[in-house]
Amino acid sequence: MAKSPVAKRLKEARLAAGLSQKSLGIAAGIDEFSASARMNQYETGKHTPDYSTLSLIAKVLKLPVAYFYADPDELAHIIRFYSFLNAKQRKDFTTKYTTSFCK
């Protein structure tokens, strides 16, 4: 059985945001006394956050939830890139690439 990419993506995104496990957990609504331990368990893959918890974490990190589930790594990078585009850039990107690949 393949390991979920969630743990890897969580750690990458948290580090890129410059947040500690505890500060991310607290910002996502996890109790401050267990935030660090829970985030550590999520990042090591011991436990996987449920969708609603991951949605809160994603909101703090300003990333779509899909990023955390994306496999392979290249798809995750594309999702992350897309999430940083403004509305016009997203439309242009989507038009350019879906038009050429979906024929």
CATH of residue 35: 1.10.260.40
12 in helix, strand or coil?
helix
Over residues 57-73, the pLDDT tens digits come to 999 999 999 999 999 99
Domain for residue 97, yes or no?
yes
Collect all residues with Cβ–Cβ distance below 8 Å to 66 and sequence separation of at least 6: 79
Distance between CA 71 and CA 3 in Å, rounded? 10
Domain for residue 34, yes or no?
yes
Domain for residue 1, yes or no?
no
Domain residues for 86?
A: 6-101
Write b or e for each residue in 24-54: b if 16 or more Cβ atoms lie within 10 A of its Cβ, otherwise e.
Answer: bbbbbebeeeebbebbebbbeeeebbeeebb
Q: Which amino acid is at 77?
A: H
**Percent of the chain whose predicted confidence (pLDDT) is above 70:** 94
Query: Residue 100: is its pLDDT beyond 70?
Result: no
Over residues 34-53, the pLDDT tens digits come to 999 999 999 999 999 999 99
Number of domains within the chain: 1
Domain for residue 57, yes or no?
yes
Residue 101 — pLDDT band, cuts 50, 70, 90? low
Compute the mean pLDDT over every residue in the chain, rounded to the nearest whole number: 93
Q: For position 98, what pLDDT does the model report?
A: 79
